[in-house]
Structure 1
Amino acid sequence: MFDIKWIRDNDAAFDRAMARRGLEPQAARLIALDDRRREHIASLQQAQERRNAASKDIGKAKASGDEERARALIEEVAKLKSALHEGEEAERELTAELTRALSELPNMPHDDVPEGLDESANVELRRFGTPTEFAFEAKEHFDVAAGAEGMAFETAAAMSGSRFVLLKGQIARLERALGQFMMDLQTGEHGYTEVSPPLLVRDEALYGTSQLPKFSEDLFRTTDDRWLIPTAEVPLTNMVAGASLDETALPIRVTALTPCFRSEAGSAGRDVRGMLRQHQFWKCELVSITTPDASLGELERMVGCAETVLQRLELPYRVMTLSAGDMGFAARKTYDIEVWLPGQNAYREISSCSVCGDFQARRMNARYRSEGEKGLKFVHTLNGSGIAVGRALIAVLENYQCEDGGVIVPDVLRPYMGGLEKIGGA
């Protein structure tokens, strides 16, 4: 969400930022909507002033015995009251129209975000490890898991439809181990506070983190008008909705391991096989609430926390800085971590870490107070995956597969697997 006052004062800069997102100029349209709203408010103020003056004149007219003038003034006041009531409703509609227009525009990219309108313009920042190679032909994760009889897509489809999976046995335990390892790392070493949030939220929560109104088709809605969370970013970030925090309480760092639910609208034909793109999946989410001057540093810290997961698992990956046109709607700057999948012979996204500036905070009215300063300022919000559990499972299955069909359990996961060193195989 944007401040229309800032747009009025910086219309050219705003249009340049929207152009980097692949949009036509927006400032003139928004300012015209605001002008209509302002002109209407001014007319209401004039009508209110006239009503107040006429109300006073009624008493004066009666005091002087001018009953005819008093009746005329009473009639005028009644008409003004009715007009003001209608005018206030029109003001609400004009304000809602402006708010709607502002809420449908993506965040402005930071100056150092690469130019470009899609993923082809993303810039590689760094790599860890080298792509895994085998003396045999690498399998994709669903073929690896099939050997262990641990991944049943047809069974899941029979009860739930496409884009679901049923995990069994040691493969299911491996997924659980990954989630527990991530949470222990993020809370025990990186200072995040563990939260167990609601999985169902109201419209206001999704509006606050920018999924609504623009992306409703990507979400699942219940019959009582609540929504299944697409990511724990939603409840974690909304923990500060409407808050007036002391600066000394910042940064706030929270994490949650939750199921996530996405309808994947518009993704037909993409990664239809396997677990890469599911309606339901587990994710370890990281959220930070901080001050404007600390938010970019917090982004670097957050992506480092996510990288540590892959480093401990000894999985090859690379970090990409996303271009302006490839970032998510609410992001000002985003790093994607892409893990190497030998079965696909490609790097694929496993984590995305973003700083949103005050974009979400304005929608949630989340502010903080600095000691010795008057007024409140909006916090900056950040979110990231620390990391996606299902995709981590895919990466482990593919990078640790054996020629005999088994899977080596990464050293760091063995305590969570009861000391098991290998799943399946000879």
Structure 2
Amino acid sequence: MVQVIRQSGDVLVLGAGIVGVSVALHLQKLGRSVVLVDRRPPGEETSYGNAGLIERASVIPYGFPRELSTILHYGLNLSADVRYHWRFLPKALPWLARFWWESSPKRLRRAALDMLPLIEHSVEEHARLMADAGISEQLRPTGWMEAYRSTAAFEKACSAARQLDEFGLRYDLLAASALREREPSLAGVFAGAVHWRDPATIADPGRLVKEYAALFARNGGSFVEADATALRQEEGGWSLETPEHHYHCREAVVALGPWSDRLYTKFGYRVPLAVKRGYHVHFNPAPGAVLNRPIVDIERGYLLAPMTRGIRLTTGIEFAARDHAPTPVQLDRTEPHAREVFPLAQRVEAAPWMGSRPCLPDMRPVIGPAPRHKGLWFAFGHNHHGLTLGPATGRLLSEMMAGLPTFADPTPFAMNRFG
């Protein structure tokens, strides 16, 4: 019979993606002893697959389209940037209706202002953690580009960019010739591009999370590979059992991304969490071809990003059940368009990667305490910006847990906004 060893600490952090690891690091900075828990090693779920953007320029959340023509376009289910499973659509409709309602101009403006402090601190909070981890060279100040094939679409994008001048963002409006100067390996299919210069990029997001987790371990933190959904409340705090250990801490943080529902529903909370699935695959560039920064082909609905493993082709949104088998149709639709733009060689992976983004219809994450359970905290639902907002979220939640003044108003992120 294996003896179960009882271990105590201050905080259990459940989830070792970018949000959970960032929370653990910030709590550790405040002197808390932290146990980090996940069923897989750090950075191997949602945080592994994304565009590698720390999106400082994304001051307006991704809202539901308001133009009837765009809605009809997506409704045909032939788009590469948005796709849905027909059988899943009835289940998704209530969430989509709430998302549409929250995306009215007035509510979208409110969401943007609520999110702005987190967005504004996104790059600098990453920079601090990278400096602590000794990996500052991984932060690339390249920005990213939105590219447009038609002159009309480019001119519309230029007007939209100027409407964001109140936020002090840096950007360049590049005609076709200027775009080719910055990205000489691109084919001449684009009429122009908007180069957003404030964002930073990462060449390997999964590795970045592992580097942050390694820093956490060097500073005395414990990582446990276990089923985080086994969390239970007991006298004096929260506990988690593995075959060899019984972990008991005064507080617990749920940062399980798209799997957070497995715990908040267990404790009686109702949150309209949806999952937007996405895919990526890497290609070797053709000999001599170089891509200096991520670029989005807006009218074809995909992104190309230079990564450690090659050129990463990422798709937009797929509405489907979280655990349904992968259906990488969007990659097949976009690969021919991507080859028109950049000289891609062979695929690196035998099969594409698929991940799930945890999304809430009001475009704000949940960050803060559980309303009815002492010592239970939540940090999930960052939509498309988990990598961007992980360190800022970790700082905000740790300040709340420590009773310190917070750098941002946490009220818009409270769980009880959903009742």
TM-score by length of 1: 0.26
Larger strand share, 1 or 2: 2
TM-score by length of 2: 0.26
Larger radius of gyration between Structure 1 and Structure 2: 1
Larger helix share, 1 or 2: 1
- Which of structures 1 and 2 has the larger relative contact order (alpha carbons within 8 angstroms, sep 6+)? 2
